[in-house]
Structure 1
């Protein structure tokens, strides 16, 4: 048995290293996965200066600020609106949520008829659209947020979503996101995914055609066996001719 002393290697890039052992040695690859948190540089020798949850670039130390902050070190307040998520893909009939965060914004007062968070879908104001949508907002004036919930997504509720607010001086802020439908939920088909598949012997349930039956089966739910005898009789008649 050979005991190898413990060594610490510092590498700035992927390297081929060798460890001599008597008349032989061990060669191995070492991959550089980045710097420890709070460090940057070719040898991770520099300290990051980023603040307020920002991350710094592994090579040059440039700070990537979180929403609501700006500046070289992300230590300057930056009033902004953030809609999250930016894109979402769901099944027909699913429920999904959009969140609208007002970072470092003192919101103008609202009421029941004029909420502080205004929502638009494809440039149409929300209150003219659907019973399947619910909105809410917290009561804070500063660093507040609003929520939009689509309870049953349908084709007319996909596309561009926009959140708008005004601060106490009248300045308007806005941000956008997008929602798309990728198909039906399990065991559903139809233009609006309103029909149950309930296929008994099928390879798949098509969005627009329903059950695609396996060989030997037919019917809307693939629950009727194919009468092969009639087919064989037809073949014999053709052969007899």
Structure 2
């Protein structure tokens, strides 16, 4: 190719105007003129698709067992015994899963999962942590839902808010209990009913803000003053 036909075809192509695609396998080199494959040592066939050694063996006379973990390996080089790992596996023997944060061929692809989600070592798919949803787990659970995939419904009452992770309730002032159905006991008020009322002379105390409702004949913030 080129203005004076002095340049070879780019790697992976051959023929007139380099318009045809090479189909050599296992590292075979393609003739830029004919497309014929020159195979790497250890392979044969028109496209270098055949191993000289049976699967599982390598080396001189094909007498050495491959060191690869068979379940996690695509192939073992018939000459060197080097292992080509299945997606999701790495290491010299293909016995190491991808490190956290990576997946795919050679564990080279970075995971895109967010908020503590697990990333599938082969596909990169995300398993969201409780409290999150979406393809990459970037979406918080909608109000009133919680848990894995936000599939559980909150049971908080009386305006209590629900944790998107485990569904636990944070009750509004004046309420307590697992589902916020218990009013504060007499004489207490506020968040978790932790505050003590200071109302005097038989006055009622608001369980929400601790304000006093004086009985007849009394006034003041704590009903301590006679009329």
Query: Is the structural similarity TM-score above 0.5?
Result: no
Higher RCO (CA-CA < 8 Å; seq separation 6+): 1
